[in-house]
Chains A and B, each alone.
Chain A
Amino acid sequence: DSGVTQTPKHLITATGQRVTLRCSPRSGDLSVYWYQQSLDQGLQFLIQYYNGEERAKGNILERFSAQQFPDLHSELNLSSLELGDSALYFCASSAGQGLDSPLHFGNGTRLTVT
């Protein structure tokens, strides 16, 4: 058990809809990262927050947004969903930001857009 909790585990929704994925980091971890895993694109970094502030941005679409709250949990919002957004979304956390702070991944939220 990595200590990172993601909810829900599975989500099925229709095109055009909006969903929110939630992540609770390991106790004490200040950094939260979001990744998307799909069959064609593999694992792609979306965005990172550190202690409530956005720190790094990857291949995140404009239809997607995220935030980290004062209690350090994070939410990833996906809107105007398309079939291609179907994927496994992982949250990871780390204590700091440096290379000595390994990432701990949650078990992911599987999103299916129909």
Chain B
Amino acid sequence: GNSVTQMEGPVTLSEEAFLTINCTYTATGYPSLFWYVQYPGEGLQLLLKATKADDKGSNKGFEATYRKETTSFHLEKGSVQVSDSAVYFCALNRNYGGSQGNLIFGKGTKLSVKP
């Protein structure tokens, strides 16, 4: 079946460090891939997405490339800030019927950035 595996946290970095959060997936067909972010006490927010192989999603300095050959969608940011501290979720949706709602999420990776 469809599943998402992301690296377990917590991840603790110093401000301006380079961030990578690994995400791999298993899916039939051609899924769309997403990264969502959850700040403390809030709901999830869409950070970026990619809908086909080799697409690069980017937003707020974060980026991720849809790699079909390695079934991966790793999240990267060149220089993290304290305000990036949050839980990051990788997710997929099969392109079946187009509904984005039936998202399959990874377990989440908590990122803490120290000044």
Contact = CB atoms under 8 A, between A and B. Distances in A.
A97 interface: yes
Given A99-B51, A99-B93, A103-B46, A94 B107 contact: no
Nearest to A39: B107
A31 B46 contact: no
B106 A42 contact: yes
B107 A99 contact: no
Given A90-B43, A103-B46, A56 B100 contact: no
Name the interface size band of chain B.
20 to 34
Nearest to B99: A97
Interface residues of A, number: 26
A31 B98 CA distance: 13
Interface string B37-53: 00001111110010100
B42 A56 contact: no
Interface string B79-115: 0000000000100010101111111111110000000
A92 B32 contact: no
Nearest to A105: B43
A4 B46 CA distance: 14
Among B100, B106, B108, max chain A CB count under 10 A is at B100
A76 to B, nearest CB: 14
A3 to B, nearest CB: 11
B102 A4 contact: no
Given A42-B107, A43-B105, A45-B104, A98 B99 contact: yes
B1 to A, nearest CB: 12
B102 A48 contact: yes
Interface string A34-69: 000000001111001000000110100000000000
Interface of B: 32, 41-46, 49, 51, 89, 93, 95, 97-108
Interface of A: 2, 4, 31, 33, 42-45, 48, 55-56, 58, 90, 92, 94, 97-99, 101-108
